[in-house]
Structure 1
Amino acid sequence: MPRYLSMIRVNESEAPAEGPSPELMERMGVLIEEMTKAGVLLDTAGLTPAAQGKRVTWSGGKIVVTEGPFAESEEVIGGYALIQAEDEAEALEWTKRFLQTHETFWTITCEVRQIAEG
């Protein structure tokens, strides 16, 4: 079965300062449990804020490490889900369900891409 990476993109400046609500975390927990029981969810996690991250760039034969926050980025990857699904349509349905666990004031984009095998 193909695997898909759903990269959860958020604008950190628009996200609630206190983070996800307890109700959101509960809804996510229910969905994660369902996905795990269905054998679809291989791994998932949220990431620390971009201000705590580093970018490592290889350019012109040199390595450059840039410390966050990254001013040129409005959206950052805030988390991910590694999904094993029958096809892209199923991976998209699970991703849509994840997005729908959020309150309406959130603006989140998930980029879903199949993992290249072999």
Structure 2
Amino acid sequence: MKYLLMICGDESAAEHANDGCGGWSEEMEQRGVVRGGAGLAPPTDATTVRVRDDNLLLTDGPFAETKEMIGGFVLIECADLDEAIEIAAKHPAAGYGTIEIRPVIDGPPPEAH
């Protein structure tokens, strides 16, 4: 299964951004679970896109005003949610922020009802 780990934190998390991952990346590469990932520019650099009644609406900044922001992401592939939790818990950001784990839908999305 593939999972997206969204690395979240508040403004103080930026202090940790240059600390690296303390060997986490190397361990996960050796385990062969990492499929991609990257850090993100701050929300102040975001552009939000909406289309309503065929009108393109652009907004500078993030979609939602919140203290927590997504600072990066990692795409992993592992056996199940238990392993994804174990991998996320080892990430240094879990100690100062939050890591949200979401399953990646492979193939066509489920039909809406």
Could you tell me which runs of 5 or more consecutive residues in structure 1 were left unpaired when the two chains were aligned: none
Deviant stretches of 4+, over 6 Å: none
Give the Å deviation of 1:29.
4.6
- Aligned residue in 1 for 2:7: 8
What are the equivalent positions in structure 2 for 1:22-101 lying under 5 Å apart? 24-25=19-20, 28-68=21-61, 72-98=65-91, 101=92
Identity over the aligned pairs, expressed in percent? 35
Partners of 1:70 and 1:46 in 2: CA distance: 18
CA pair 82-67 structure 1, distance change in 2 beyond 3 A? same
Letter of the 2:13 counterpart: A
Could you tell me which runs of 5 or more consecutive residues in structure 2 were left unpaired when the two chains were aligned: 108-113
Please give the TM-score of this superposition, normalised by the length of structure 1.
0.77
Partners of 1:113 and 1:71 in 2: CA distance: 19
Q: Is contact 1:10–1:77 with CA below 8 Å preserved after alignment?
A: yes
RMSD over equivalenced CA pairs, Å: 2.3
- Aligned residue in 2 for 1:116: 105
Give the Å deviation of 1:59.
2.8
Please give the TM-score of this superposition, normalised by the length of structure 2.
0.80
Give the Å deviation of 1:62.
2.2
Partners of 2:36 and 2:93 in 1: CA distance: 19
Give the Å deviation of 1:71.
6.9
Which of 10, 17, 20 is 2:16 aligned to? 20
Give the Å deviation of 1:39.
0.7
Partners of 1:56 and 1:88 in 2: CA distance: 32
